[in-house]
Structure 1
């Protein structure tokens, strides 16, 4: 089996571009799965399943040593800063918010899920761009 290095590189770039932790590509009997921690290729036609795993270059990973209270995504989906396009954003950097205030919407399976603040504080940083995909547990906002 020949390993398509170009495809693996392209999938790795998608991880960074779309802020994903894992992506999988399947074509016929070959499956390629790339994650932040490893790359694996699984070819179903070989006798027994061959898995090739190699550590991914961690140079591109950002080390976030954020001080403050983090508000994280409760689900996987798409993050939105406002209730509808063109509307006023739920939060802005420097805005004081209370526990329970909606800080963002995460849309999953055509359902808009309001994400409440888990604490009182002032918005220090908004970590996700409007319309970007988010993972479960990913930091959305940091409060001071």
Structure 2
């Protein structure tokens, strides 16, 4: 795994700019946490770490990526697995889907956006929980 040092530098700058002691960023399956010790001097050491549990997830997800097709979110918003609460989900693990089938809804600014499948396949993994936020380009489903 290769981590872009400029991201750590940028997060370190945010610590000073906003007078924070800790900041964390999660992108796909990578989680970077930067924190500084509360030392009374101006030369405050900054540390960066990647959680061991996340390292294992990164290794596992890299092997999943090689054996599946990722479908990513086209927009930032809140992901919903069904058209309304209590309704049947669009997809479930093991379900065969075709290109163009709605796999999820991403709500952004009170607009419900249907996300179509970009490929045919069988749903291997649903990577986002119902009602949770998603980022642009975040993997939401993996197909076999």
- Say yes or no: TM over 0.5: yes
1:124 aligns with 2:109: no
8 Å contact from structure 1 (residues 79, 107) kept in 2: yes
Structure 1 residue aligned with 2:102: 102
Q: Deviations over 1:80-112 (max 9, x none)?
A: 000110111111111111111110011112111
Higher share in strand: 1
Name the Cα RMSD after superposition. Answer: 2.7
8 Å contact from structure 1 (residues 40, 51) kept in 2: no
Higher share in helix: 2
Structure 2 residue aligned with 1:30: 19
Structure 1 unaligned residues grouped into runs of 5+ = 1-21, 42-46
8 Å contact from structure 1 (residues 90, 103) kept in 2: yes
Structure 1 residue aligned with 2:81: 81
Structure 2 residue aligned with 1:3: none
1:52–1:40: structure 2 CA closer, same or farther, 3 Å change rule? farther
Structure 1 residue aligned with 2:34: 39
1:116–1:51: structure 2 CA closer, same or farther, 3 Å change rule? farther
Deviation at 1:57, TM superposition (A): 2.9
8 Å contact from structure 1 (residues 72, 140) kept in 2: yes
Q: Deviations over 1:27-70 (max 9, x none)?
A: xx6345422334267xxxxx9xx996431233131211212111
After TM superposition, the score normalised by the length of structure 2 is: 0.66
Q: Which runs of 4+ in 1 moved over 4 A?
A: 50-53
1:51–1:86: structure 2 CA closer, same or farther, 3 Å change rule? farther
Structure 1 residue aligned with 2:141: 141
